[in-house]
Amino acid sequence: MTTRSLNPGVTLRGRYRIIGLIGQGGMGSVYKATDLRLEGRMCAVKEILPNLMGDEDDPVAYQEQFYQEASTLARLDHPSLPKVSDYFSENEREYLLMDFVPGNDLGEIIAGAKRRSEFLLEDQVLEWIQQLCDALAYLHTRTPSIVHRDIKPSNIKLTPSGYIKLVDFGLVKLLLADESRTVTVVQGRGTAQYTPLEQYGGDTGHTDVRSDIYALGATIYHLLTLTPPVDARQRFLQPGSLALPRTINPAISPATERAILAAMAMHPDDRPPSIEDFSDLLFSPHDIVTIGTTYTLPDPSWSEAIRSNSILLLMAAVLLLITFLISTNSTLL
């Protein structure tokens, strides 16, 4: 099966004319196209190859799987999600047609902030994340529940009007009622820095809404520190290798740092159990965990405790030194 890109000018289904390639990766390609039937309408065309789904030996099962997933996505209606308007097969490839979302993705915004050597403002980042939490709550409460599994800065766009859009559904997973099987458009593990450990098993691993919560926490970490977090495999092999956010950007509030670390807990049971719980933790900070929740906030490390109380420790050291000098002088006299 060839993975050759579609050339500009190619028309799909007699309607969608390819303008150019937007992005390409292990999970497929995305193109910008114009809708010949609706003049002036721009589309994003997601192309998926059978060999990327692992079903190239069973094309019928592959196509049924794709259509089930695509029809679910087409029913979604949320301001922070692009609308899926069409899906079809052509030349042994599957296509999803979505609204084209203008603007820069958050990965580009991070890169711009790094070039300026300026951290992004926490209030601005949290405004974006609040919109994203609302979109994820919508996905997670569908029937069946939808887990995105590839949340990362480059999959989140900031439109010129200031709204957030979660633009890529490449690894999306449907959680069926009995969880005896799942439906996944494209098998894969996501991007390492934002992928929880349980997702490294592909579709054999148990992923649920808490996997999205980990990825969201890792995304906030990257946005506020301008540094991608250490991936889960390295954290498993080297406990303590994840730098605390406030050691990189001291302007981050302690409450936001605690929420990030809770979301990025290695074991799913130690994370907030739902996006609503995480949102409450992030936007209604408190020192005592809400009664009834099933997770606990991570204890700060000794290095964080020392850093947070450095002034008190310095004063204590000075007092000890003065006491020692007075004691020494008294002895000499």
More confident residue, 29 or 202: 29
Asked if 11-99 and 104-308 have one fold, the answer is no
pLDDT tens for each residue of 97-128: 999 999 999 999 999 999 999 999 999 999 99
Averaged pLDDT for residues 204-220: 88
Domain boundaries, the chain: 11-99, 104-308
Q: For residue 232, how many C-alpha atoms fall within 13 Å in the half-sphere facing its CB?
A: 24
- Taking Cα atoms as reference points, which of 187, 218, 217 lies closest to residue 205? 187
pLDDT of residue 41 exceeding 90, the answer is yes
Architecture of the CATH domain 11-99 = 2-Layer Sandwich (3.30)
Model confidence at 317: pLDDT above 60: yes
Edge-to-edge strand order for the sheet containing 173-175?
145-147, 173-175, 182-184
Least trusted range by pLDDT, from 59-63, 173-177, 229-233, 287-291: 287-291
- Which of the four pLDDT bands, split at 50, 70 and 90, describes residue 304? very low
32 CB neighbour count, 10 Å cutoff: 16
> 182: Cβ–Cβ under 8 A, 6 or more apart, which residues?
173, 174, 175, 176, 203
Could you tell me where the DSSP H helices lie in the chain?
50-53, 59-74, 106-116, 122-140, 209-225, 232-237, 245-248, 254-263, 275-283, 302-308, 310-332
Other C-beta atoms closer than 10 Å to the C-beta of 137 total 16
Supply the pLDDT for residue 206. Answer: 75
Q: Are strands 156-158 and 104-105 parallel, antiparallel or unpaired?
A: antiparallel
Residue 71, pLDDT above cutoff 90: no
> Is the whole model's pTM more than 0.75, yes or no?
yes
CA 160 from centroid of its chain's CA atoms: 21
Residue 319 reports pLDDT greater than 80: no
pLDDT in the model for residue 217: 97
**Integer-rounded Cα radius of gyration of the chain:** 24
231-236, Cβ contacts within 8 angstroms, sequence gap of 24 or more:
231/192, 231/193, 231/195, 232/192, 232/195, 232/196, 232/197, 232/200, 232/266, 233/192, 233/197, 233/200, 235/266, 236/197, 236/266
Model confidence over 285-300: pLDDT tens digits? 655 444 334 455 454 4
Q: Which residue has the tokens 């406990």?
A: 239
Looking at residue 220, its pLDDT comes to 98
Look over the chain and give the mean of its residue pLDDT values, rounded to a whole number. 81
Which residues are annotated as catalytic? 150
Average pLDDT of the segment spanning 251-258:
96
Mean pLDDT of 156-165: 94
For residues 235-259, give the mean pLDDT: 95
CATH class name, domain 104-308: mainly alpha
- C-alpha 163: how far from its chain's center? 17
Cα dihedral: 317, 318, 320, 325 (round 10): 140
Predicted confidence band of residue 91 (pLDDT cuts 50, 70, 90): confident
